[in-house]
Chain A
Amino acid sequence: MSAPVVIETQTLEVSIGPQHPSTHGVFRMDVVLDGEVVVKLKPVMGYLHRNHEQLAEKMPWIASMPYTDRLDYFCSMSNNWAYALAVEKLAGIQVPERAEYIRVIMAELTRLQNHAAAVGFLLSDCGAWFTPVLYAFRERERILDFFEAVSGSRMMCNYCRFGGVRVDLTEQTLAMARGIVERFPRFLDEFEKLMTENEVLMARTQRVGILPKALAIDASISGPMARASGVEYDIRKVDGYGVYPRFEFQVPVGETGDVYDRYMIRILEMRQAVKILQQALRDIPAGPFQNPAVKLRNFKIPAGDGYGRIESPKGELGFYLVADAAGKNPYRYHVRPPSFINLTILEDMCLGHKVADVVVILGSVDIVLGEVDR
């Protein structure tokens, strides 16, 4: 047998450019390919940078609340809550019970619609020609209609205020929410029947984009991505913010950390969110929805700094706020976006996979560019 022939090949550098055919926003990846296999990958972000943190330093505390809507524009309600939580922690404001329940309801509904959209888009990245997306959007539309009925806008809700929420839930809107929660398990069953056992999907997503548990912890990955890799960390259980300790729910954790696991974790989290919603809608007390001691204008916070975080549908969303002596504007305002942090190990997940997998892995990370670039 003669010596094996070594073929000289050149690597090919491709820029999966800012304009994606699939979704996720303006985001670029510089990929170096050896044949079909990814050798190096560099994510390039910043195409949607809108200077959110600097803007907040020039405006009073309440004025950056509408801007937090636009961070992760799928989950405006939970973004609002994270910011309100950070400010309330810093200023020591109490939140009435009804407002806490309302916030939980909104956050879990946000989780439902975000995961529905994320899973739908992941499947359309795999090539299912938008059928799962439109099924997911059918339910998402109802949730967005509910948001519009309560807060006035489908996505840019601007709903939480420091010390409560802006508008109360009426009997009509509560009935709407109950209707949504009743229908949702049926949609999940149909969706699972469509996709979960699908062999093509399993062939496409299993053993693809594996994220080992140690690497996830080291890279401070959070959210469904971390839980799919086996990291048992859910801020709702760890911190117990709001009235979450009162609800009985479980946190699904996966084993392998591949794309299929992340998909399944999101589906299971949707089921758990439905459980929480049922309890919250059952137990919501009557009462005030705003803390009357909080002023809307000329709101001042004593000097200090603090970090408030919640379990947003994408991971740990945190706001680090520093108030100076004047207290009218934030001195420093920093957002810890989950999508940005989760993107940093994109390269490690994609190495050794084929080009077609890169798009699928990116879809499973579930990024929203508004959050990545702020």
Chain B
Amino acid sequence: METVYKWLKNLATGAPDWALLGVAMLVAIGFLLAVFPGVFAFITWAERKGLGRIQNRMGPNRVGPVGLFQPIADGLKILTKEDIVPRRADGFVHFLAPVVAVVPALLALVVVPVGAGLVAVNLNIGILFAFAVSTASVLALFMAGWASRNKFSLLGAMRAVAQVVSYEVPTVLSAVVVLMVVGSLSTLDIVESQRGWFGWHVFKPWGAIGFFLFTCGALAEAGRTPFDIPEAESEIVAGYHTEYSGFKFALFQMGEYLASLAMMSIGVTMFLGGYLGPGSGPGVLGTLISMGWFFAKLLAMIAVVIWIRGTWPRLRVDQLLAFAWRFLLPLSLINIVAAGLWHFIPSKPVGWGVSAALLAASCWVLTRLNGRAYIEKRSYRLTS
């Protein structure tokens, strides 16, 4: 927003400050509201086509070229559906829950730098704000489950809340590593600290593990496979959004996807170098290229998430929670120690070596400890 404000000031020197600020704010907000739900619509299309191609079939291809208007068709369909609210449900909370699902995700996108200098609000507590706000969407799950006055919704909501809350911890801890090394909470500073060849944090040992932890956490908070127990409640209970139909259901879906987009954007910012890439720099062309880099990285992450969705089955709820508390949490703590070692050991190669060795060893130990469930099975054959 500040970039836009400065640009407008150069353009219209005579206009009063508040007007320029207002226009800059509107531009920033409008950009966020236009682009990210647009990316959401694109993801729904890409997911169906991607899953289709993985499964040896075409995805939607009737509505528009290559099925590109399918999200529009889906949106129209869902808008024209009847809005059913159970009579005994708590009306006000029932109505607010989808809103509470969507708004925090949009708020978290406010601090994400989309291009060089293009961040809606450059808070100097950017990452803290993003995490604080995105955690508020947990409330939506619980509000939905409670207000539906439905035993099964409540069960589903409780499981979803347990999942989201337990995955917050490793996510935030993995972000802490980045913050320690960069020394600032502001997203722009974090991105700027990744300049240079192979400067992205993901190329450093603690960054790679941190990225893995963060991705697991992002997947789990958004409820994507393999952690999609809340979303795909085909296992008996119908989940916290059973009693929602029509546009409210669409809002829940949008909230979930936007939350995952928000987390992935933050992940790109912290680990994958944000908008950095060859050609991104100041100036109009540089800014556009930097925006292109950001969205390219974001789309690459989305592609990987869709790929994972098409391949792996889902974990059961208790295995999910065990994975978070018994594997990710210790790993994230050890990651912090490794990052500290990397930073403070004066000779660089030794620092890299030590931290990489520590992380590899801890991964191995943790998988051995947790891998009791993965036993080798042999079946023998005979002719009776």
Contacts and interface: CB of A to CB of B under 8 A. Distances in A.
Interface of A: 12, 14, 16, 21-22, 31, 36, 123, 125-131, 134-135, 138, 194, 198-204, 206-207, 228, 232-234, 237-238, 249-256, 260-261, 264-265, 268, 272, 354-359
Interface in B232-265: 232-237
Contacts of A249: 383
B230 interface: no
A358 B237 CA distance: 12
Nearest to A194: B311
A199 B382 CA distance: 28
Give the one of A12, A201, A354, A358 with max B CB within 10 A. A354
Contacts of B383: 237, 249-251
B347 to A, nearest CB: 38
A253 B56 contact: no
A317 to B, nearest CB: 19
A198 B384 contact: no
B315 A204 contact: yes
A47 to B, nearest CB: 18
Interface in B341-382: 373-375, 377-382
Nearest to A31: B236
The 10 A-B residue pairs with the shortest CB-CB distance in the complex, in nearest-first order: A127-B314, A21-B234, A126-B313, A134-B55, A128-B313, A127-B313, A250-B381, A254-B379, A356-B235, A232-B384
Given A252-B381, A255-B378, A265-B379, A358 B236 contact: yes
Interface string B306-317: 000111111111
Given A134-B56, A251-B384, A255-B379, A127 B226 contact: yes
Interface in B50-68: 51, 54-57
**Which of B232, B310, B314 is packed against the most chain A CB atoms within 10 Å?**
B314
Interface in B110-159: 151-152, 155
Given A194-B311, A265-B379, A354-B316, 7 more contacts: A125-B235, A128-B311, A130-B55, A200-B226, A204-B313, A253-B380, A355-B237
Nearest to B310: A131
A199 B384 contact: no
A30 B307 CA distance: 36
21 contacts: A14-B236, A14-B237, A21-B234, A36-B317, A125-B235, A127-B225, A127-B226, A127-B228, A128-B312, A131-B55, A134-B57, A202-B373, A203-B315, A203-B373, A206-B373, A250-B381, A251-B381, A251-B383, A252-B380, A272-B381, A357-B316
Nearest to A353: B316
A156 to B, nearest CB: 25
B318 interface: yes
B3 interface: no
Contacts of A238: 384
A204 B227 CA distance: 13
Contacts of A253: 379-382
Nearest to A236: B384
B374 A206 contact: yes
B317 A354 contact: yes
Nearest to A231: B384
Contacts of B377: 206, 254-256, 260-261, 264
B196 to A, nearest CB: 37
Contacts of A260: 377
Contacts of A264: 377, 379
A319 B247 CA distance: 53
Interface string B275-295: 000000000000000000000
A309 B311 CA distance: 39
B18 to A, nearest CB: 51
Contact of A12 (B151, B229, B316): B151
Nearest to B54: A131
A268 B381 contact: yes
Nearest to B152: A14
Interface in B294-326: 309-319
Contacts of A131: 51, 54-55, 310-311
A249 B381 CA distance: 10
Nearest to A260: B377
B55 A135 contact: yes
Contacts of B373: 202-203, 206-207
Nearest to A228: B379
Query: Which of B235, B237, B313, B383 has the most chain A CB atoms closer than 10 A to its own CB?
Result: B313
A250 B56 CA distance: 33
A135 B51 CA distance: 12
Contacts of B312: 128, 198, 200
Contacts of B235: 125, 127, 355-356, 359
